[in-house]
Amino acid sequence: MQKLLIGLLLILFAGSCGTDDIIDSAKDLLGVEDKFTAEIDGQKWAAEIRVVKKESSPVNSFTISGTSLDGRVIHMTTVGIEEGTYRISLAESILNLSLKMFIGTYTPDVTDLSTLNKATGGKVTISEIGIKDGKHYISGTFELTIESEAGTVEITKGVFNELEYKEEQKS
């Protein structure tokens, strides 16, 4: 109850602070940990909506997608479901003696699909796949380079930590 009251007080003082400051303060007070974060051109980004899917058809893959409160979306799909580093191109994967690849996209505005741009560089590293408290999870890091008509977008210091997913049921 006390945490709720403090959260409401923070909202009352919203006019004097930036939205990100209020959200960060409320998360700290409520003990909410960001599980999917990055820096986009040096600015902090955190996914408030996260979706992770493990699929086996048409290929084994993990899809990791996150949307921030301001509508920026990072989306990655690995071609493979093992721990390790996934590269953006087949040539780059072969140079690293691996066939692990991924596809990544970024859009600065979830409501405008014309702003959707494909990653042209980067990597995704799955560092851990496990089960905690009976729930499947995936953890790792990522970095992406996005080329668009507006210029280059650098996504760095990307982390996804213990993102839950459901194990696909075979029929």
Q: Give the pLDDT confidence of 6-19 residue by residue, as tens digits.
A: 333 333 333 334 44
* pLDDT value of position 132: 94
Whether residue 149 sits in one domain with residue 75: yes
Whether residue 118 sits in one domain with residue 71: yes
Domain extent, residue 120, equals 34-165
- Tell me the CB-side half-sphere exposure of residue 41, using CA atoms within 13 A: 9
* pLDDT value of position 56: 87
Whether residue 126 sits in one domain with residue 47: yes
Whether residue 25 sits in one domain with residue 60: no
Tokens coding 51: 């979706």
pTM: 0.78
* pLDDT value of position 11: 39
* pLDDT value of position 130: 96
Is residue 171 one of the residues assigned to a domain?
no
Q: Tell me how far CA of residue 56 lies from CA of 6, 29, 101, 134, 150, in angstroms.
A: 45, 40, 15, 21, 36
Positions in the chain whose pLDDT score sits under 50: 1-31
